[in-house]
Amino acid sequence: MTSEDFIIREIEPEDDVALAKVIREVILEMGAPKIGTAYEDEATDNMYKQYQKTKSKYYVLTHKNIVVGGAGIAQLDDFEGNTCELQKMYFLPIVRGKGLGTILINRCLDRAKEFGFTHCYLETLPYMKAAVKLYKQNNFNHLKEPLGNTAHYNCTIWMIKEL
């Protein structure tokens, strides 16, 4: 199976249930807490609606028409500045190790640039070591403290990239 076996497309309303399942499944797989993470976000159950806001976009990754991951960008909440946030990037094991993370990050960052953002921020969990490695490979740099207010207080790794 190669990256060509997967399709990246914009989120559709019927993706909500499958995407919420993917996000929660990955959080549990990684041994991450349910509270203070995307696991408990209301937005996790309403992703399509969440990404219909101005200057936001979410992409799902499918394999044989089944949602197996996704990622999006949106304005960083409660932050003065032209910074977006890379949000809810989760992949089931079938996706990992095929270069699709970089492809999806680049798709999100290209859209962020089109929206006029100058920086992209992200938060992740220390349990997600492969994700941190992927972000570093894509030139995200560590920060000493969080930016904005994502309400994900258990996410203790903060990174940023100039676009």
For 87-133, how does the pLDDT look when each residue is reduced to its tens digit (9 = 90+)?
999 999 999 999 999 999 999 999 999 999 999 999 998 878 899 99
Query: What CATH number corresponds to the domain at position 122?
Result: 3.40.630.30
Domain count, the chain: 1
What percentage of the chain exceeds 90 in pLDDT? 75
The separation between CA 105 and the C-alpha centre of its own chain, rounded to angstroms, equals: 8
CA distance linking residue 87 with residue 150, whole number of Å: 10
Domain that holds residue 58: 3-162
pLDDT per residue over 136-163, tens digit each?
999 999 999 999 887 776 788 999 999 9
| 8 Å CB contact between 135 and 124 | yes
Of the pLDDT bands very low, low, confident and very high (cuts 50, 70, 90), residue 2 is low
- The number of helices, as runs of H, and strands, as runs of E, in the chain is 4, 7
- Give the pLDDT confidence score for residue 33 in this predicted structure: 78
pTM: 0.93
CB 82 within 8 A of CB 112: no
Whole-number Å distance between alpha carbons of 80 and 84:
11
